[in-house]
A and B are shown apart, each in its own frame.
Chain A
Amino acid sequence: MIYIDKISPGKHLLQGNEACVIGALLAECRFFSAYPITPANEISILMAKYLPLVGGTFIQAEDEISAVMSAIGASWAGVRAMTATSGPGFSLMQEGIGYAVMVETPLVIVDVMRLGPGTGQATKSGQGDVMQAIWGRHGDQAVIVMAPASAQEMLDFTIDAFNLADEYRVPVIICTDQIVGHTYETVNVPHADEIKKVKRREPRENEPHFGGDGTKVAGFPTVGKGYRVSVTGSTHDEWGYRKTQDPEVHARLVWHLVKKIMENADKIFTYEIIGKDTPKIAIIAYGSVFRSAMEAVKRLRDEGINVGLFRPKILWPIYEKALEEFLSNAEWVVVPEMNTGMYVREIERLIDRRKIVRINKIGGGVPIYPEEIIKKVKGLM
Chain B
Amino acid sequence: MKKIEHPWIGKYLRPGAVPSPFCPGCGNGIIASAFIRAVDKKYGSFDNFVFVSGIGCAAWIPSPLFYADTIHTLHGRAIPVAMGVKLANPKLNVVVISGDGDLVSIGGNHLLHAARRNLDILVILVNNFVYAMTGAQVSPTTPLGARTTTTPYGNPEQPLDVCKLLAQTNANYVARWTVYHVFDLEKTFREALDMEGFRFIEVISSCPTRWGHMQKMNTIQLLEYFKENSIRIEQVKDPNDTQGKILIGVFVKRDNPGFIKQLSKVREKAIELWRKKMVK
Q: Which A residues lie at the B interface, using CB under 8 A?
A: 2, 4-6, 30-31, 33, 49, 52-53, 55, 57, 59, 61-63, 65-67, 69-79, 81, 95-96, 99, 223-224, 226-234, 239-242
Contact = CB atoms under 8 A, between A and B. Distances in A.
Given A52-B266, A66-B80, A73 B70 contact: no
11 contacts: A53-B274, A62-B112, A75-B84, A78-B89, A96-B74, A223-B92, A224-B89, A230-B14, A230-B17, A230-B63, A240-B64
A223 B95 CA distance: 13
Given A62-B113, A230-B64, A31 B72 contact: no
B110 interface: yes
B55 to A, nearest CB: 8
Nearest to B265: A52
Interface string B25-48: 000000000000000000000111
A228 B68 contact: yes
Contacts of B81: 69-70, 72-73, 76
Contact of B280 (A5, A52, A239): A5
Contact of B274 (A4, A55, A79): A4
Given A65-B77, A95-B74, A230-B63, A31 B89 contact: no
Pairs A-B, 4 closest by C-beta atoms: A73-B84, A77-B88, A69-B80, A70-B84
B71 interface: yes
Nearest to A66: B80
Nearest to B266: A52
Contacts of A99: 73-74, 77
Given A77-B85, A79-B88, A231-B71, A61 B64 contact: no
Contact of A52 (B50, B71, B89, B267): B267
A71 B48 CA distance: 20
Given A62-B110, A229-B69, A242-B64, A69 B84 contact: yes
A328 B218 CA distance: 73
A228 B47 CA distance: 9
A33 B84 contact: yes
Interface of B: 14, 16-17, 46-48, 50, 52, 63-64, 67-74, 77, 79-89, 91-92, 109-110, 112-113, 263, 266-267, 269-271, 274, 279-280
Contacts of A72: 73, 81, 84
Contacts of A230: 14, 17, 63-64, 70, 72
Contacts of A226: 47
Contacts of A65: 77, 80
A175 to B, nearest CB: 23
A233 B50 CA distance: 16
Contacts of B269: 52
Interface centre among B72, B263, B269 (most CB of A within 10 A): B72
B131 to A, nearest CB: 17
A224 B50 contact: yes
A44 to B, nearest CB: 15
Interface centre among A65, A71, A78 (most CB of B within 10 A): A65
A49 B64 CA distance: 39
Contacts of B16: 239, 241
Given A57-B263, A241-B16, A81 B68 contact: no
Contacts of B64: 230, 232, 240-242
Interface centre among A30, A61, A76 (most CB of B within 10 A): A76
